[in-house]
Structure 1
């Protein structure tokens, strides 16, 4: 089979690899679509994975082989899933903190989503594989994983009806958050970015106040929208740690910051720590996704809560993964979501 293999920055090579074998309880999946995620971009640009890695985890595909003991699925089923599976029995899993499970990152799809086929373990098949409706295209289904991640993150935000919410970053994740929020009976949603293209998309998705921070004062907009009270929730959807002090400044008393995107390793920022006591604010980190958000994500894509057609701006082929990474990473490009298709 063919796979796009990462070797270094700007060095992806299309290679022949052995098609994975499957065992008891396992399945072989023919990849039909795999989204380019911000973490794929981060790993490729910052060399945070070793050479010979096959990236990609936002996959949708068709089951072409099932192992003995598989009863939930059949050959020909159209499915989506994710890369990591918790153990469900450890200290963290018992507290429903599934993404902190020590075994979570030890589980992986093989070799990765930027390939023709992937092997899914028995644990994946049992807990983290979901059928998609016949009416849903593989292209649109590839959004299930990032949508599920955003649902997972918003659980941590404890969003209430009538809340005012600020999203910092209008990339794919920020725009998914915005669309989900508009179906939660929140009051107003503000989103900030430096890309006029992305902010126009945000307006199309019904987000109330797109703010271009190159020529608008974000604090002034927040004060105007909230009558100088500040927002109830800030979702940081860009991997820029310097956004954290600003987010805290824009919070209402009792508000909460959700750190959704990965910050730079060992990055340090200065924040007004007095607010934790006098204003009872909080900062919460949220990572990845558990198996319990996927069915909701599939429903949101199916019923149009997530405008999948407008979100996916570009399709590229397996031999263009390196090009897709650079294209999606370039803030000057008019791109939201790139999906690799067969």
Structure 2
């Protein structure tokens, strides 16, 4: 029997186990490691064994703020191996390594036609689950990928030689590239990116790849050191210097052509606006909770500064993102270098805690149901 077929059959046998381990959300700051049923699949669906899943800031907000009903299993930056396929699935094979998006837009509704796919009603419906109400499910051993995700391009085959961990960055890279494109950067632009966690660093790298001069702001020198490894060599140490003043000193007093606010603190909106030149753009990327914040309306009207936002991914650039992530693994865009911590699923609660309390030495936190498989 060929090795590939034998391996696929062994994976299917493992997948047919009736139970699995998962980190289950029950209430605000209440996530428990539990044994739950392996989700069953229907026609057109896939069952994927998770190899690795990143802990995203949106997962943390849901856990800490209680914005979603319980119980749920979160996690959506995920990659793994297909272990079962429903009737009618012809594009994918057992044993195939894949990355899974948890949202797919319809491409036809009013919002899709207006190029705001994150507002599409279908896109707002999550199509991957490890049980309970669909919420991604990557903090578990297996996920069910629903038929419209499979049919709508939400499952991406991982090429040989690219590890699961690199592929798991496709969804966050998509969200970042979508935001960078909204800024309409020119090669002679100066860009300030506030925050050099994984999301902010990716914003800075992609802006830099477009030819812009990029200044990066963060409290932690350790993060600036990581950024330097990606060619970002204009750090601003936010704990030691005034960010807006430094940006103006670097731009003949004007300010940045574009500013990306990649951290969630609303108080930093003023910093971003102050650091932006007249006629420039400020993009909010991490302000995902509704509420109120203050800013100078004269800066928008009289100074003609544009305040805009970007949220979630765009399937118009999905192929571009996949090529960027896959080809970038060996060409200067190895995102696995952003991973600071790897936890087994049994230690998922600790992983969530570490991600919830970022320190100088913490960047991307990954949960791997089977330790060591994320680098395969």
TM-score, normalised by the number of residues in structure 1: 0.94
Deviation string, structure 1 residues 241-285 (Cα, Å, up to 9, x no partner): 11112211211222111111125431321x221233333221111
Q: 1:103 deviation in Å? A: 2.5
1:278 counterpart residue number: 302
* Structure 1 portions without partners, runs of 5+: none
| Paired residue secondary structure (1:248) | helix
Deviation string, structure 1 residues 311-338 (Cα, Å, up to 9, x no partner): 1121111122221111122233511101
Q: 1:10 deviation in Å? A: 4.6
Q: 1:159 deviation in Å? A: 1.4
2:311 counterpart residue number: 287
* Structure 2 portions without partners, runs of 5+: 1-19, 131-136, 371-376
1:334 counterpart residue number: 361
> In the alignment, is the contact (CA less than 8 A) between 2:42 and 2:86 conserved in 1?
yes
Q: What is the aligned counterpart of 1:323 among 347, 350, 375?
A: 350
Asked if 1:174 is matched to 2:200, the reply is yes
Q: Distance in 2 between matches of 1:263 and 1:122?
A: 28
Structure 1 residue runs of 4+, over 4 Å off?
none
Q: Distance in 1 between matches of 2:332 and 2:121?
A: 34
Deviates more, 1:80-89 or 1:235-244: 80-89
Q: 1:216 deviation in Å? A: 1.2
Q: 1:117 deviation in Å? A: 0.7
> In the alignment, is the contact (CA less than 8 A) between 1:79 and 1:129 conserved in 2?
yes
Q: 1:286 to 1:77 in 2, by over 3 A?
A: same
Q: 1:142 deviation in Å? A: 1.1
Q: 1:140 to 1:295 in 2, by over 3 A?
A: same
| Paired residue secondary structure (1:75) | coil
2:57 counterpart residue number: 38
> In the alignment, is the contact (CA less than 8 A) between 2:198 and 2:364 conserved in 1?
yes
Asked if 1:123 is matched to 2:143, the reply is no
Q: 1:340 to 1:94 in 2, by over 3 A?
A: same
Q: 1:218 deviation in Å? A: 0.9
> In the alignment, is the contact (CA less than 8 A) between 1:240 and 1:263 conserved in 2?
no
| Paired residue secondary structure (1:300) | helix
> In the alignment, is the contact (CA less than 8 A) between 1:57 and 1:83 conserved in 2?
yes
Deviates more, 1:250-259 or 1:26-35: 250-259
Deviates more, 1:151-160 or 1:298-307: 298-307
> In the alignment, is the contact (CA less than 8 A) between 2:24 and 2:71 conserved in 1?
yes
Q: 1:263 to 1:117 in 2, by over 3 A?
A: closer
1:97 counterpart residue number: 116
Asked if 1:218 is matched to 2:237, the reply is no
Asked if 1:164 is matched to 2:183, the reply is no
Q: 1:21 to 1:264 in 2, by over 3 A?
A: closer
1:196 counterpart residue number: 221
| Paired residue secondary structure (1:104) | coil
Q: Distance in 2 between matches of 1:34 and 1:293?
A: 22
Q: Distance in 2 between matches of 1:86 and 1:294?
A: 12
Deviation string, structure 1 residues 277-311 (Cα, Å, up to 9, x no partner): 33322111111112233332332233234232311
Q: 1:9 deviation in Å? A: 4.6
> In the alignment, is the contact (CA less than 8 A) between 1:11 and 1:322 conserved in 2?
no
Q: Distance in 1 between matches of 2:333 and 2:318?
A: 14
Q: What is the aligned counterpart of 1:50 among 45, 50, 69?
A: 69
| Paired residue secondary structure (2:342) | strand
2:90 counterpart residue number: 71
